Amino acid sequence: MTSLELIMTLRTPLTVLVGLGLACGVARADVYHVPPAEAQAGAPLELEARIADAESRTVHLYYRTAVTSAWAEVAFARASGERWIATIPAAAMVVPGVEYYLASVPAVAADAAGAAVPVDEFASAAWPHPVAVRTGAADARRQRDLARVGGRRSRARAAFEWIDFGRRTNQADASVPDSYYRIDLDFAYRLLAYPLEEIRIGYTRLEGEVPNSDRRVPFDCTPATETTPACRLAAGFKVGGWFELGLGLAEGLRLDARGMFTANQESFALGARAELRAGIADGNHLAAAVEYMADVGTIGSFRLGWATVPKVPMAMTVEITDLPSSVRATGVRLLYDAYYPLPTGLRLGARLGYAARDQIIGGPSAGLSASYDF
């Protein structure tokens, strides 16, 4: 077991002190070096030594990582006076650590063959000095987030949902549906550049038919006129584009903020969405969201997600909404979602629910979704 493996295994202050003592014990008096015990991952490690009588020798730094056996060599360069610097590059500063020693080559040959004999100045190839390499808080968080998604940073997603609030009638027996469908297509990329965790771009299509009043079919509508614009309103939009930022306020606390632009045959409109979530989106979490689309309506929702059933995360959502048209009365939706993630990165989802604008009339909700992480 190398000294680096030893310190990584034991990881106690006593081990560090013993390692430093052994290393310092072989240092020569005319080369003074204070070794570090640990360093930051991904950042170059600058080592300083004070070298007396530097003209008589050339001092070199020899280092290797925990996963390499060959020693890399860097010559010390004068910084000022007797102060000399050698640097272990950032690429070599990886977890769990590096180990190194210092050796010098005399300017005058020291053996009978005329070859310069290297002299250990600090530690040695047999007993190198170990430096534990630690990840910072952001790096450790990034590694946890990537491990949770199998190292996949991108996600493509498609979802379809049908919502039926039940058919509405009046005293003249005119009947008009109160329903709509919604299609969402989006792509997300996990930047993990905290606090910015993720960016998403997407397309939404939402279309439906509703009575042209807040609840019932207008009283003057008849079966002969129930399909006219005065009785039946074509609601929603054909094209909606949006851009969303996922902000990690803290680990486990996320704010998603979205801006939306929608268009139909008559006009353009703006929209927005915000969701605050505590927990893991694909696992245990609580989330509250508000979505507004001009002329279409507003959604307020609360969601509870859990992953207690192996391989089948689930969620329950309560929505309060007037979709698909802001002229409609507010209704309530109760939704149940179940997902099945596959090892390939494919994730399938199904949704069932019930929607109602009053206590008498309601209808089913159903949807399917699929996402792919890569």
Distance CA 217, CA 364 (A): 20
Mean pLDDT across the chain: 90
**Contacts with 359 (C-beta within 8 Å, 6 or more apart), sequence order:** none
3-135 against 141-373: fold identical: no
Helix/strand/coil for 20: helix
Task: Please state which CATH number belongs to domain 141-373.
Answer: 2.40.128.130
- Spell 264-299 as b/e; 16+ CB within 10 A means b: beeeebebebebebebebbeebebebebbbbbbbbb
Tell me the two tokens of residue 222: 């008849």
CA atoms lying within 13 Å on the CB side of residue 289: 24
**Contacts with 216 (C-beta within 8 Å, 6 or more apart), sequence order:** 168, 169, 170
For strand 331-341 and strand 129-134, is the pairing parallel, antiparallel, or unpaired?
unpaired
Q: Residue ranges of the alpha helices (H) in the chain?
A: 3-10, 13-25, 137-148
Contact 96, 135 (CB under 8 A): no
β-strand partners of 73: 62
Residue type, 335: L
Q: Which class would CATH give 3-135?
A: mainly beta
For residue 137, what pLDDT is reported?
85
Q: List Cβ<8 Å contacts ≥24 apart for 69-72.
A: 71/125
Distance CA 254, CA 246 (A): 7
pLDDT tens-digit map of 125-183: 999 999 999 988 888 899 899 999 999 999 999 999 999 999 999 999 999 999 999 99
pTM of the full structure: 0.73
Mean pLDDT value of segment 78-104: 94
Distance CA 272, CA 278 (A): 20
Mean pLDDT value of segment 88-116: 84
- Spell 15-25 as b/e; 16+ CB within 10 A means b: bbeebbeebee
pLDDT tens-digit map of 296-333: 999 999 999 999 998 999 999 999 999 999 989 999 99
Distance CA 163, CA 358 (A): 15
Going from the C-alpha of 5 to that of each of 25, 38, 68, 69, 226, the distances in angstroms are 20, 14, 12, 13, 80
Residue 111: pLDDT band with limits 50, 70, 90 = low
Question: What residue ranges do the domains of the chain occupy?
Answer: 3-135, 141-373
Mean pLDDT value of segment 17-26: 40
